[in-house]
């Protein structure tokens, strides 16, 4: 709705007023650029810091897990079901065959 009002206002201006209005807008945006560049730099640095914090957290977590595994190896021994030999399998898996007509 606001865009419609602005457009109607712009159409109601004389050519000289329109040129003056465009010049005002141009000056406003040119004055805002240094602030936007500063904000961009700030946001970029903030994002980089967040990324480094996340990576450090991942490394710390991974290191903690490795240290825990070294201090408690009994919790991470391979379970029996993964070490069974194929010949000792109680329920042998049969190969499926397609029905032929």
68 DSSP 8-state letter:
H
- Residue 95 pLDDT more than 60? yes
Instruction: Report the pLDDT value the prediction gives residue 2, as an integer from 0 to 100.
Output: 64
Ramachandran category for residue 84: left, alpha or beta (phi over 0 → left; psi -120 to 50 → alpha): beta
Instruction: Report the pLDDT value the prediction gives residue 34, as an integer from 0 to 100.
Output: 96
CA 65/CA 3 separation, integer angstroms:
57
- Residue 99 pLDDT more than 90? no
Q: 28-40: per-residue pLDDT in tens?
A: 999 999 999 999 9
Least Cα distance to 66 among 18, 29, 58, 54 occurs for 58
Provide CB contacts within 8 A for 18, sequence distance 6+: 10
CA dihedral (81, 87, 88, 93) positive or negative:
positive
């Amino acid at each position: 709705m606001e865009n419609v009002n602005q457009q109607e206002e712009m159409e109601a201006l004389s050519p000289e007023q329109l040129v003056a209005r465009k010049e005002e807008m141009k000056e406003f945006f040119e004055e805002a650029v240094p602030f936007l560049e500063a904000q961009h730099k700030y946001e970029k640095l903030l994002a980089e810091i967040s990324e480094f914090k996340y990576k450090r957290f991942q490394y710390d977590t991974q290191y903690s897990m490795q240290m825990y595994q070294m201090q408690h190896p009994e919790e991470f021994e391979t379970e029996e079901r993964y070490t069974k030999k194929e010949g000792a399998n109680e329920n042998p898996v049969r190969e499926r065959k397609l029905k032929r007509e």
